[in-house]
Structure 1
Amino acid sequence: MIEIDGSQKSGSGTILRLSVALAAVTKQPLHIYNIRQNRPQAGLMPQHLEAVLTAAKL
């Protein structure tokens, strides 16, 4: 399982998108915690959720 601390570096949605891509390519489960923790609005925004849902369809 790939585990990612989403609060590292800038804590942006880029971590989410790259992590999802890595998990898809390696066919491993993914756990992201503290997603966007350091951002003014922490957590997933609608566009981040949409990116994950779109990747799941591929």
Structure 2
Amino acid sequence: MELVNIDGSMGEGGGQILRTALALSAITGKPVRVYNIRAKRSRPGLQHQHLASVKALAELSGARVEGAALGSTEIVFYPGKIKAAALHST
């Protein structure tokens, strides 16, 4: 299936575009590549709170994720089947 490509520097260039893109990917089942993540911020790339969102959505949707690491400015999210899960923050 073809990737949906999203430039994370568009709009306010923060983490919300990442969270929204991954949630929609999980719901629709379409894989997504988000690049230039938080490019307009003083500390670009994934921070702890963004990485937690990526991991939670990956767990809920059985996704395979490439590039999910602190400071990463690009990830690829391949969603699987959504499943029920109890998530706990740490």
TM band (smaller chain): over 0.9
Q: CA deviation at 1:18?
A: 0.1
Q: CA deviation at 1:20?
A: 0.4
Q: How many residues align?
A: 58
Q: CA deviation at 1:47?
A: 0.6
Structure ranking higher in helix proportion = 1
Query: What residue ranges of structure 1 are gaps of 5+ in the alignment?
Result: none
Indicate the percent of aligned positions where both proteins have the same amino acid: 47
RMSD: 0.6
Quote the Cα distance in structure 2 between the aligned partners of 1:40 and 1:14: 16
Structure 1 counterpart of 2:36: 34
Task: Give the structure-1-normalised TM-score.
Answer: 0.94
**Helix, strand or coil at the partner of 2:54:** helix
Structure 1 counterpart of 2:23: 21
Task: Give the structure-2-normalised TM-score.
Answer: 0.62
Structure with higher RCO (Cα < 8 A, 6+ apart): 1
Query: What residue ranges of structure 2 are gaps of 5+ in the alignment?
Result: 61-90
